[in-house]
């Protein structure tokens, strides 16, 4: 574990940003219920004007389907990212929440599988809307385990409710609370509990759970959720086996971070007989996987990255690299002409991530 060095300017700035955000949250959260509801309503109306048209999607015909993975873990699919849930005597833990419009169906399925046990924790693998959109409703449907005066403090903070905790990496909170475009979601949808070191440990439902930050991979706030007792990893979008990865460069993603995350998953997984099964990996999108699947994906990423890097180091432009078709032999399996993770965008983002830096125009512009 890395202990943050407060003499480091970047660490100091991060701490200041966190303190400002915490005070902002506190100010909002300690306002009277009427003021808070007005603020929430205002942000919902602004969202309605700005964001909804783009996000408008009809979920009426989409069913939530679930499968037992192993141990205490189930995988739920619907619209958006895959959802992982852990069920035990202490209640339910939910990893990722799809879209707001899917929340009621997810809650119904979680209640069916768990026999109505309370949802205690939500974990967000990263900040994207197709993984955190149901945070508010699913947290409100849950209940924290709290005792003594703390219960009263939470009731005061939430205007009477006792929603589930929402855990995420601090960079994910920063992106949820200050999106690059549009307004942030209501405060009740934000993570309540964040960390900025390499990992966070939890113990819930009788098993150790490790939250492992994967720096600058799909975004800058990705975490793997490793259920050590059940032997399952919920990977979020650092591993999506239906397509090439969506490297969200604007949110701090990079090809080398994605390759590193795939290698970290391979380090944690142990296959059973004949390289099949053993540790299971729930991808952000796509089908349930085991180590052999992740190895195939890691090899694909590494081979394509090295091809593009080789061409870039020989001075080829992006257009020349695209014309050389560095992904051709994998396109049948992972390629797509349009949409998130499409082949063209993938090649472009890998190229920009591995090309040699431009030489400085003159000495004065050189970075110090």
For binding to Zn ion (CB under 5 A), which residues are involved?
Answer: 128, 237
Q: What is the CA radius of gyration of the chain?
A: 21
CB of residue 215 vs Zn ion: minimum separation in angstroms? 16
CB of residue 312 vs Zn ion: minimum separation in angstroms? 26
CB of residue 78 vs Zn ion: minimum separation in angstroms? 16
Do residues 218 and 171 touch, judged by C-beta distance below 8 A? no
Strand boundaries in 44-186, DSSP class E: 65-70, 73-77, 83-88, 91-95, 119-123, 165-169
Nearer to Zn ion, 285 or 322 (CB): 285
Tell me how far apart the alpha carbons of residues 213 and 126 are, in angstroms, rounded to a whole number: 10
Do residues 225 and 123 touch, judged by C-beta distance below 8 A? yes
CB of residue 48 vs Zn ion: minimum separation in angstroms? 23
CB of residue 334 vs Zn ion: minimum separation in angstroms? 16
Nearer to Zn ion, 188 or 237 (CB): 237
Burial class (CB in 10 A: 0-12, 13-18, 19+), 152: exposed
Nearer to Zn ion, 120 or 128 (CB): 128
Nearer to Zn ion, 128 or 355 (CB): 128
Nearer to Zn ion, 98 or 205 (CB): 98
353-357: long-range contacts at Cβ-Cβ below 8 A with a sequence spacing of 24 or more? 353/247, 353/249, 353/254, 353/255, 353/256, 354/255, 354/256, 354/305, 354/308, 354/309, 354/312, 355/309, 355/312, 355/313, 356/312, 356/313
Nearer to Zn ion, 237 or 293 (CB): 237
Nearest to 214 by CA among 179, 263, 249: 263
Place of tokens 């993603």: 253
* Coil, helix or strand at residue 117: coil
Nearer to Zn ion, 124 or 327 (CB): 124
Tell me how far apart the alpha carbons of residues 63 and 154 are, in angstroms, rounded to a whole number: 34
CB of residue 218 vs Zn ion: minimum separation in angstroms? 6
CB of residue 340 vs Zn ion: minimum separation in angstroms? 8
């Amino acid at each position: 574990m890395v202990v943050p060095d407060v003499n480091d300017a970047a660490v100091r700035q991060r701490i200041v940003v966190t303190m400002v955000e915490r005070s902002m949250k506190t100010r909002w959260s300690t306002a009277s219920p009427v003021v808070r509801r007005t603020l929430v309503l205002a942000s919902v109306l602004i969202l309605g004007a700005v964001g909804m048209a783009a996000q408008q999607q009809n979920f009426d015909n989409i069913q939530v389907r679930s499968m037992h993975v192993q141990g205490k873990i189930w995988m739920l699919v619907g619209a958006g990212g895959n959802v992982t849930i852990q069920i035990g005597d202490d209640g339910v833990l939910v990893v990722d929440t799809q879209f707001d419009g899917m929340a009621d169906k997810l809650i119904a399925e979680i209640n069916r599988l768990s026999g109505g046990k309370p949802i205690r924790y939500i974990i967000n693998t990263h900040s994207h809307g197709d993984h955190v959109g149901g945070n508010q409703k699913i947290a409100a449907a849950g209940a924290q385990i709290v005792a003594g005066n703390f219960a009263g403090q939470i009731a005061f903070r939430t205007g009477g409710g006792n929603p589930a905790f929402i855990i995420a990496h601090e960079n994910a909170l920063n992106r949820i609370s200050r999106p690059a475009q549009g307004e942030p979601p209501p405060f009740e949808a934000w993570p309540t509990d964040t960390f900025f070191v390499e990992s966070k440990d939890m113990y819930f439902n009788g098993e150790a759970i490790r939250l492992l930050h994967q720096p600058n991979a799909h975004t800058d706030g990705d975490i793997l959720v490793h259920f050590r007792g059940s032997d399952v990893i919920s990977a979020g979008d650092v591993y999506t086996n239906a397509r090439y990865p969506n490297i969200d460069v604007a949110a701090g993603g990079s090809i080398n971070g994605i390759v590193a995350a795939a290698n970290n998953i391979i380090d944690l997984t142990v296959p059973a007989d004949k390289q099949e099964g053993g540790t299971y990996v729930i991808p952000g999108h796509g089908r349930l996987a085991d180590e052999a699947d992740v190895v195939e994906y890691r090899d694909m990423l590494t081979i394509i990255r090295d091809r593009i890097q080789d061409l870039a180091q020989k001075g080829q432009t992006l257009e020349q690299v695209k014309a050389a078709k560095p992904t051709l032999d994998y396109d049948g399996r992972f390629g797509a002409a349009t949409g998130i993770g499409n082949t063209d965008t993938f090649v472009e983002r890998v190229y920009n991530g591995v090309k040699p830096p431009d030489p400085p125009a003159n000495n004065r512009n050189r970075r110090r």
